[in-house]
Amino acid sequence: MTDLSILIPARNEMFLARTVQDILENIEADTEIIVVFDGQLADPPLPQHDRVTVIYHSESVGQRAGTKEAAKLARSKYIMKVDAHCAFDKGFDRKMLEGMQDDWTMVPVMKNLHAFDWVCKNGHRRYQGQSGQCTECKEPTERDIIWKPRRGVNSTSYCFSPEPKFQYFNSYKKRQSGDIVETMSLQGSCFMMTKEKYFDLNIDDEEFGSWGSQGIEVACKTWLSGGKCMVNKNTWYAHMFRTQGGDFGFPWPCKGKQVRKAKDRARELFIKNKWDRQKYPISWLVERFWPVDHWTEDDLRAIGGTPPASKGILYYTDNKLSIRLAKRCRRQLQKMGLPITSVSLKPMPDFGNNIHYKGTRGQLTMFKQILAGLEAMKEDIVFFCEHDLLYHQSHFTFTPADKETFYYNENFWAYRLNDGYCLHYDAKKLSGLCAYREPLIQHFRERVALVEKEGFSNTIGYEPMTHNRIKWKNTYKCEGWKSEYPNIDIRHDGNLTSSKWSKKDFRNQKFTKGWQEGNKVVDGWGDVSKYLV
């Protein structure tokens, strides 16, 4: 039994030997490689190695059939299908195995592979593409192998259009946070899953044809059956995209008929909800990642979905936080891809729709800032966000079930800035509030009026509806919830409210429920300090 089996379907692949060599040089786990020669051998030949198994078909059976045959021979719990023109990070197999869960399909970060240049005798270089004479001096050119990932290209988010057609999901990339992140779809040149799941879900269904729509097939079967598609940002692979022309074209037939066959199969199974193994409809998947690039609200309705209520961020600040720390927290919020309404005591024209509120720091001013922001917003659902918190992407996937209830995310860790000490206990805090905008406006109008009349006291408190000490005219329900990964509440010298670091600080011990302590490292974030430098 090995740790991982890497499956490589190949037909007339000039870079296959280099790909296998690269894998052998970079694996750190007990990993085997199974290569399927589909009708043609490799030139140059593969290196001889006891970790490499070769299957040869004199007649082509197709990419999907070849991959499935390799999977049957795999001796590992986990299998990873890769294309025959890829380079890999050092220890990529170990890093993938360390982050893997059995109901996931996981991929590394995808980079673009700079495989070669065309070089003439005068030293002029031309980036990989179709062969031909030098464009500068007209001399003949030869291929010079580079085999390095290109800088600046790190793909972690993919989707598909209603057609369906593979697409990069650039707007969602901004919403991803953490070391292992969700992706709606996959690219298809590399994916890892359990061998059991591969056969259970009938991955590489030959009804799609030899190739095409593989990333959509794998992603939809994973998500719709109850699993997840994840990108492990701790490691990478670099994929060479095929150039046009006869030098490095696609080795399997790729005429329009084959392309249409794969898309028609994907549309029939997934867009029309006819896959017999699905637990969820396709509308569930699209709504989970909404808004989705290349999809309109009419597209969503056409598959039986309902455009979710719009969401927005209400950010309020007294501008007393250090510029460095404030910018890091704001940068994290901007990654969420949601509209931001910011209300500040100093002008902040570069951060969302900014409202400059002229006032002096204090509880009444903060409540007035919140009310001003709520009245200016147009979104249905509001997430309260404070200037000294790092908010996780999973926080914003929450949707209130009831319009008359105020919901508080109780999954947060307090992070002591001076030494990295971390503390969690279940609590409802204003910084974790999420609710529909109209009830919030009603409450904060009433709250501002009360504080203007009587002043602020602990009886009024900060968190609406969390206790019954005030008989509000407009009463709403209150509930707690927990996001998949926590938010980070940064505790520093300038916090408006005091910090409690010991159970002794609580007069009522019921408020210490869920008590956990740690140091710097938080689930979903890793070492928090790296976000603050």
Q: What angle do CA 448, 453, 456 make, to 5 degrees?
A: 65
pLDDT in tens, 273-283: 999 999 999 99
pLDDT score for 453: 95
Spatial CA neighbour of 365 closest among 317, 332, 302: 317
Residue 456: which CATH number? 3.90.550
Domain shared by 419 and 508, yes or no:
yes
pLDDT score for 253: 59
pLDDT score for 43: 72
pLDDT in tens, 259-271: 788 999 999 999 9
**Residue range 469-478: average pLDDT?**
92
pLDDT score for 2: 92
Residue 245 has pLDDT above 60, yes or no: no
**Total domain count, the chain:** 2
Domain end residue (candidates: 271, 302, 333): 302
Residue 343 has pLDDT above 70, yes or no: yes
pLDDT score for 258: 77
Domain shared by 161 and 143, yes or no:
yes
Query: Which residues span the domain enclosing 459?
Result: 311-531
Q: Tell me which residue has tokens 């078909």.
A: 57
pLDDT score for 374: 98
Domain shared by 126 and 246, yes or no:
yes
Domain shared by 293 and 318, yes or no:
no
* 95 band by pLDDT with thresholds 50, 70 and 90: very high
Residue 458 has pLDDT above 90, yes or no: no
Domain shared by 343 and 405, yes or no:
yes
Q: Which amino acid is at 16?
A: L
Distance between CA atoms of residues 388 and 390, nearest Å: 7
pLDDT in tens, 367-393: 999 999 999 999 999 999 999 999 999
Peptide bond into 308 cis (omega under 30): no
Domain shared by 207 and 275, yes or no:
yes
Residue 107: which CATH number? 3.90.550.10
- pTM recorded for the entire structure: 0.73
Domain shared by 155 and 193, yes or no:
yes
Distance between CA atoms of residues 521 and 201, nearest Å: 36
Q: Tell me which residue has tokens 């198994």.
A: 53
Distance between CA atoms of residues 306 and 466, nearest Å: 32
pLDDT score for 249: 60
Distance between CA atoms of residues 88 and 106, nearest Å: 15
pLDDT score for 259: 78
pLDDT score for 256: 64
How many Cα atoms sit within 13 Å of 524 on the Cβ side?
A: 18
Residue 244 has pLDDT above 70, yes or no: no
Mean pLDDT of the chain: 92
* 251 band by pLDDT with thresholds 50, 70 and 90: low
Residue 131 has pLDDT above 90, yes or no: no
Q: Which of the two residues, 511 and 112, has the higher pLDDT score?
A: 112
Domain shared by 267 and 320, yes or no:
no
pLDDT in tens, 159-188: 999 999 999 999 998 888 789 999 999 999
